[in-house]
A and B are shown apart, each in its own frame.
Chain A
Amino acid sequence: MLIKSRNTHDCLESEVTDYSLYMQRRRFIETSAKGFGLAMIAPSLLLSACSEASPGSDTTTSAGKQDQELTPYEDVTTYNNFYEFGLGKSDPAKYATKFNVKPWTVKVEGAVENPGTYDLEDLLKGMQQEERIYRLRCVEAWSMVIPWYGFALADLIKKLKPTSTAKYVQFETLYDPKQMPGQRGRALDWPYVEGLRLDEAMNPLAFMATGLYGKDLLGQNGAPFRLVVPWKYGFKSIKSIVAIRFTETEPPTSWNITNSGEYGFYANVNPKVNHPRWSQRKERRIGEFRKRPTLLFNGYGDEVASLYQGMDLKRYF
């Protein structure tokens, strides 16, 4: 008999917001938005319209208690940071429509017993597929709740068998300027690379997604398979992976290369460590009006805090 124990990060179906409540909140957003829109036509009305909008905020607060209300599929698939397809939030959805992910091979290299070039299908063989609802917190202070589909990264690592000298794992995104127009510019040092300490990668929360909302990943979300580390800022969750490397030393990571003063290797969500140029104390959940407080490790402290015991999180940001 399969007994599934429930972790604190798991969300019950009962926690998902009722559709009618969800629509009610949508209506509030629309009304307040229209109120503000009208106010903009006559600047003098600006303040009065804003105070009109505030009584409705009770609705948002009650909806806000539903911590895991899923972000609509449309938002998850049209509001993306995936600079390989362009710097604008809607660029990935626009330019990834013809992104070809078949065939897809993944190179496995470094301190590992089973190196080689794998067809993605072979790599995924034997992985236990499951759905996980995770919060995703972007370093730009917005967040989403996404029902991913995929498997535990730990399972994949066990299959690849890193050697005892492996301390880190590095991932690399596809480099293909023909398919990824953003790579024709030099916004970042392509290909995009990210990495985790091996014990972080083995944490049960670390996940490899192949789909979301029960469908295969679209190009803009990192098809055909990507990392999801929900306690870290979104840029750690590297997309469209073509290489997995096991290393003995801390591997370079793209945003850290670009601006080491602002983006560290760890990039754990932490409301007490601000981005040098903006606050990380709060975040806007996509679809909500009021900002909500950001939680340490994005609220997954019970599962991951032990990884960083004794570490100065301000220094290792």
Chain B
Amino acid sequence: MPAFFVKHIKPICFTLCSLPLAYLAMLFFTDQLGANPIERITRYSGTWALRMTLITLMATPLQRALGAVWPFRIRRMLGLFGFFYVTLHLANYIVLDQFFDGYEIYFDLVERPFIMAGMAAFLLLIPLAVTSTKKMMRRLGKRWKQLHRAVYLIAALGVLHYFLLIKLGWFEPAIYLLVYLALMLMRMPIRETLSKIFKPRQVTDPR
């Protein structure tokens, strides 16, 4: 990695993560959201919420693969951007889409599996966002890591949310599922597992 990139990783990351939002704002101000702007915002914010969550999950494998520290330095920012796009998605649903219609929102929550999955993901994200500060990291110690493993479940719920809402076809959610599975596989202690499987043989070999 070029030194410039590593040195300014945080502002670069912030700018890149803000681009989807800037593009959405541009569509707003130039009246290019189309005939059904609210639906467009719903889809757009939802897509980026899921993408940012998966991008956050890339930090650890990247760090391992490159042996560099910079992926860890932006992990929190990535996660918080994910939370931001999820919040935007939810706010759009409550404010613009349902316009605070408690009755409709209630029935969506109890009757619609895709809403349940999405809402569960949002609720699970709250403690993670709250405990994302350095202070909380120190205070929670080992438990911080355990708590933040919830992100694996959150990302899975996000992919599930997408699968459950689509009207036709499964191609696009399937891509997200594959990315998710790949990211989870990279976390598996494959080398250790493999060595556990093969070691006993070597041990029993008398030579």
Contact = CB atoms under 8 A, between A and B. Distances in A.
Contacts of A67: none
A10 interface: no
Contacts of A179: none
A74 B33 CA distance: 13
Interface string A272-292: 001001110110101101110
A279 B104 contact: yes
Given A89-B36, A279-B107, A43 B29 contact: no
B169 A89 contact: no
A79 B169 CA distance: 20
Contacts of A113: none
Interface in A58-114: 71, 74-75, 78-79, 83, 87, 89-90
A278 B36 CA distance: 18
Given A188-B168, A274-B111, A278-B112, A37 B25 contact: yes
Nearest to A41: B25
Contact of B91 (A37, A46, A278, A291): A46
Contact of A277 (B37, B95, B165): B165
A33 B37 contact: yes
B200 interface: no
A57 B24 CA distance: 23
B31 A30 contact: yes
A142 interface: yes
Contacts of A36: 28, 95-96
Given A83-B168, A89-B35, A277 B99 contact: no
Contacts, number: 80
A291 B98 contact: yes
B11 interface: no
Interface in B93-139: 95-99, 101, 104, 107-108, 111-114
Contact of A43 (B28, B87, B165): B87
A244 to B, nearest CB: 26
A289 B108 CA distance: 19
B102 to A, nearest CB: 13
A79 B95 contact: no
A258 interface: yes
Interface in B144-193: 164-165, 167-169
Interface in B21-39: 21, 24-25, 28-29, 31, 33-39
A16 interface: no
Contacts of A277: 112-114, 164-165
Given A87-B168, A277-B164, A279-B107, A79 B35 contact: yes
Nearest to A29: B37
With most chain B CB atoms within 10 A of its CB, the pick from A30, A33, A281 is A33
Given A90-B34, A277-B112, A40 B101 contact: no
A90 B32 CA distance: 12
A295 B89 CA distance: 28
A142 B42 CA distance: 14
B99 to A, nearest CB: 5
A280 B181 CA distance: 34
A20 B112 CA distance: 40
16 contacts: A37-B24, A43-B84, A43-B87, A50-B95, A57-B99, A78-B34, A79-B34, A89-B36, A188-B168, A277-B112, A279-B104, A281-B104, A282-B104, A287-B35, A291-B98, A291-B104
Given A50-B95, A277-B112, 13 more contacts: A30-B31, A33-B33, A36-B95, A40-B24, A43-B87, A71-B35, A78-B35, A277-B113, A282-B101, A284-B36, A284-B38, A286-B36, A291-B104
